[in-house]
Amino acid sequence: MTDRKPYRHRFPLSVIGDALRLSHRFPLSQRDVQELLHERGIQVSHKTLRQWNIKFAPLLTKELRHGETRRVSPWHLDEVCVKVGGVGDWLWRAVDERGDVLDILLQEHRDTEVAKSFFVRLLKIYEVPEVIHIDKLWNSVEQSHRPTRRQERQQRGFRSRKRAQGFLDLHARMTNVHHPARSTLPAHYRRHHQRAGFSVWQEVVQQAACTLH
């Protein structure tokens, strides 16, 4: 199913999905992704890679969300400043006790109204947890900032809030899928989670292909 080409695209969704997986799984620039695809005989432009992200990232994010377990563990809420168009915006995040991202919201301001809107957004998806921690995150949870920071540096900041939100939405879901892979767990356990992550991504791309056709 993933070998079928989406309407008005030269490449099948399996190729597009592979390009997006590289972009969101690793801190790679578009030139890096372009070179890796070229090595596989796939020649695409920077504009094409950018359009793939804009068009397909929301669909793949939605499919990944559907496959996630609804969490009722304690929530940890915080915010981190990221550069958008050269200006500092606030990325609001809710994570569980493992450090997996529940949801994110990129906003210009850091105030009570934004916090309320973020809570409303969360409660449309998840059950109300018994405990909500605000800031003062545990060390393991604080580390969930790192993938975002690496991507921000590699992208040299983000150009617009809308595109940054779309990129970081998929990036957060991808990080959740591969969360245990770079921990201090034994190698065989990491490989098991990596294989599971590959399987999840393939299923998501197949589901997206069905949706498009």
pLDDT digits (tens, 9 = 90+) for 68-104: 876 667 888 888 888 888 888 898 988 887 778 889 9
The answer to the question of residue 97 being in a domain is yes
The answer to the question of residue 56 being in a domain is yes
The answer to the question of residue 3 being in a domain is no
The confidence band for 188, taking pLDDT boundaries of 50, 70 and 90, is: confident
Residues 171 and 194 in one domain: no
The answer to the question of residue 82 being in a domain is yes
Residues 153 and 105 in one domain: yes
- Provide the residue range defining the domain that includes 158: 75-177
The answer to the question of residue 43 being in a domain is yes
Helix/strand/coil (H, E, C) string of the chain? CCCCCCCCCCCCHHHHHHHHHHHHHCCCCHHHHHHHHHHCCCCCCHHHHHHHHHHHHHHHHHHHHHHCCCCCCCEEEEEEEEEECCEEEEEEEEECCCCCEEEEEEECCCCHHHHHHHHHHHHCCCCCCCCEEECCCCHHHHCCHHHHHHHHHHHCCECCHHHHHHHHHHHHHHHHHCHHHHCCCCHHHHHHHHHHHHHHHHHHHHHHHHHHC
Give pLDDT tens digits for 19-36: 999 999 988 888 899 999
Residues 80 and 161 in one domain: yes
Mean pLDDT of 183-205: 87
Least confident of 40-44, 104-108, 119-123, 177-181: 177-181
The answer to the question of residue 5 being in a domain is no
pTM summary value: 0.81
The answer to the question of residue 1 being in a domain is no
Report the chain's mean pLDDT, rounded to a whole number. 83
What is residue 173's predicted lDDT score, i.e. its pLDDT?
Answer: 92
Number of domains in the chain: 2
Residues 170 and 148 in one domain: yes
